[in-house]
């Protein structure tokens, strides 16, 4: 009778002595308990735990980094330096082949090797959950429809159909879609999440997510470029409608459903790297693309992509029903996601694909700049020098906190009157609404980079070709929810105590 299989038996058979040996040994004993002979156990084990000579280590020199961005001011230079530092850390990870920074690169938060907004990487046979972030599949979606509705009417209906803020839709106001009925819930990364998919369908969240109503007037040259690129349906509608459309554009991701998938993917990636690699930061932990976990995670990501597109579509359909209209053309693109091209996985965090689709057409995408500026309709340039990405928007030079600092008083509070005055000046003539009630100045045009500079850099670096501009008419964003009375009371009490202390200190000095 064979003795229980030992670690030394696996080492003698060719497995490496390291962190991956423990899981392999546990699996070997499970197989052995079924009555398999020792030789058969080792054969079966190798299919699940391939023999490797050593754990994977970070590379000494970083992979190449391309920068499609130029800094003209001190703030811009500081921002680019921070993004470059985080990208360089990420490029030491052995599965990362090269990286890029887009014109919309933003201040880098998080820890070592955290991909910045505006960052893209090419990865060999691996998926890095941290490189698409928790807001999986954050994306743009546009519906073109006849330009014969007043702005106020469209905005009133949109206010009633959309949903911003934390959490999902309340019972009785939930939306439905065939995407909820797809047979995906036995995937280990999606198991038990169907109710989350239902709850969050038709929601937009907060932060920089928005619902934007605009108008576009195509020129004949733009129509010809769209036709030449292979988008005949849009070209035909441009001719039929004399080039004029109203357009609803929404920006949001996969909400709580995607956040849950990200947590599961990150946990699995961390476990795999703990067993198979060394000195890999959490934000760069990966799953091999050809492993069982990697294939399941990839399948789950594809479902999240379909769900998110429907998350946009149900809101667009709801508005069109209220207006008595139908969609003439709909387009969309992701910018927080993973795409497989050949043998590589391309990861974007705030980076929009600008390569060719399966039909050989340059991808048609949307690049917003800010609520008071045009949304660019672009054809990707497929510029391999910059991983064939283009930016996802204008990006920021300052964090939200730093941007708001000049607008706060000595107590650290925003002056509502000044906020309203500032917003009125930078969004004049537009119907701007805040779903939560109070405006969020950090999401105003003042919070973002100079849109004209970003447009110029898209052209300068050959990232995409503009074939239309959707001009703003109105925009809804989450804004700040009303402050609960108990929070206000606590804040006022603290302010009163601070004032009393200052008065006491002043009296002590005077005496």
pLDDT digits (tens, 9 = 90+) for 435-484: 988 899 999 999 999 999 999 999 999 999 999 999 999 999 998 876 55
pLDDT at 502 over 80: no
Give the annotated binding-site residues.
209, 251, 368-371, 392-395
CA distance 155 to 248: 10
Residue spans of the domains in the chain: they are: 7-48, 139-332+359-384+396-477, 483-511
The CATH architecture that domain 139-332+359-384+396-477 belongs to is Alpha-Beta Complex (3.90)
Considering the chain, what percentage of its residues have pLDDT values greater than 90? 71
How deeply is 500 buried, as exposed, middle or buried, from its count of CB atoms within 10 A (0-12, 13-18, 19+)? exposed
Reported as a single tens digit per residue, the pLDDT across 355-387 is: 999 999 999 999 999 999 999 999 999 999 999
**Closest to 333 measured CA to CA, from 349, 354, 314:** 354
The answer to whether residue 142 scores a pLDDT higher than 60 is yes
Residue with tokens 């920021």: 396
Whole-angstrom distance, CA of residue 126 vs CA of residue 346? 10
Cα–Cα distance, 33 to 37 (Å, whole number) = 10
Question: Which residues sit in the known binding site for GMP?
Answer: 368-371, 392-395
Q: How far apart are CA 75 and CA 45, in angstroms?
A: 55
Kindly state the average pLDDT of the residues 250-257: 97
What is the reported pLDDT for 487? Answer: 46
Beta-sheet pairing, 329-334 with 139-145: antiparallel
Residue with tokens 């499609």: 68
Residue numbers belonging to the annotated binding site for Mn(2+) = 209, 251
| Maximum separation of any 2 CA atoms in the chain, in Å | 94
Contacts of residue 450, defined as CB under 8 A and 6 or more positions apart, other chains included, come to 394
Q: Which residue has the tokens 């036995």?
A: 186
Band of residue 489 on the pLDDT scale cut at 50, 70, 90: low
- What is the set of active-site residues? 392
Mean pLDDT, rounded, of the chain: 91
The predicted pLDDT at position 53 comes to: 45
């Amino acid at each position: 009778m064979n003795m229980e299989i030992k670690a030394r038996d696996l080492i003698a058979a060719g497995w490496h002595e390291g962190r991956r040996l423990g899981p392999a040994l546990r699996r070997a004993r499970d197989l052995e308990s079924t009555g398999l002979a020792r030789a058969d156990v080792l054969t079966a084990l190798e299919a699940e735990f391939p023999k490797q000579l050593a754990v994977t280590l970070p590379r000494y020199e970083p992979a190449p980094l391309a920068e499609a961005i130029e800094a003209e001011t001190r703030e811009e230079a500081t921002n680019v330096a921070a993004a470059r530092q985080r990208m360089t850390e990420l490029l030491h990870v052995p599965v990362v082949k090269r990286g890029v920074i887009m014109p919309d690169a933003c201040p880098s938060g998080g820890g070592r090797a955290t991909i910045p907004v505006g960052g893209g990487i090419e990865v060999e046979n691996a998926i890095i959950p941290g490189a698409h972030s928790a807001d999986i599949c954050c994306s743009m979606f546009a519906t073109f429809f006849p330009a014969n509705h007043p702005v106020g009417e469209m905005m009133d209906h949109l206010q009633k159909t959309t949903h911003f803020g934390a959490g999902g839709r309340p019972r009785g106001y939930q939306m439905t879609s065939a995407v909820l009925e797809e047979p995906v819930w036995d995937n280990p990364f999606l198991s038990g999440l169907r109710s989350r998919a239902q709850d969050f369908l038709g929601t937009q969240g907060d932060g920089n997510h928005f619902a934007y109503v605009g108008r576009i007037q195509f020129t004949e040259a733009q129509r010809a470029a769209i036709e030449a690129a292979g988008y005949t349906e849009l070209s035909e509608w441009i001719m039929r409608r004399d080039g004029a459309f109203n357009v609803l554009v929404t920006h949001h991701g996969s909400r709580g459903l995607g956040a849950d998938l990200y947590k599961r993917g990150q946990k699995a990636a961390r476990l795999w790297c703990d067993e198979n690699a060394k000195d890999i930061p959490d934000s760069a932990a990966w799953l091999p693309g050809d492993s069982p976990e990697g294939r399941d995670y990839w399948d789950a990501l594809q479902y999240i992509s379909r769900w998110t597109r429907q998350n946009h579509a149900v809101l667009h359909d709801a508005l069109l029903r209220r207006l008595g209209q139908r969609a003439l053309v709909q387009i969309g693109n992701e910018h927080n996601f993973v795409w497989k091209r050949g043998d590589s996985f391309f990861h974007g965090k705030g980076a929009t694909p600008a390569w060719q689709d399966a039909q050989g057409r340059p991808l048609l995408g949307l690049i917003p700049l800010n609520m008071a500026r045009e949304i660019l309709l672009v054809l990707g340039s497929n510029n391999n020098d910059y991983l064939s990405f283009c930016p996802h928007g204008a990006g920021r030079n300052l964090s939200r906190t730093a941007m708001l600092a000049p607008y706060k008083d000595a107590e650290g509070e925003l002056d509502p009157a000044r906020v309203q005055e500032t917003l009125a000046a930078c969004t004049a003539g537009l119907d701007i609404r805040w779903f939560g009630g109070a405006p969020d100045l950090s999401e105003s045009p003042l919070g973002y980079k100079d849109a004209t500079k970003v447009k110029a850099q898209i052209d300068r670096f050959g990232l995409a070709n503009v074939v239309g501009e959707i001009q703003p008419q109105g925009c809804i964003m989450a804004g700040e929810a009303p402050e609960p009375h108990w929070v206000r009371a606590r804040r006022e009490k603290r302010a009163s105590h601070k004032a009393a202390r200052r008065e006491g200190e002043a009296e002590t000095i005077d005496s």
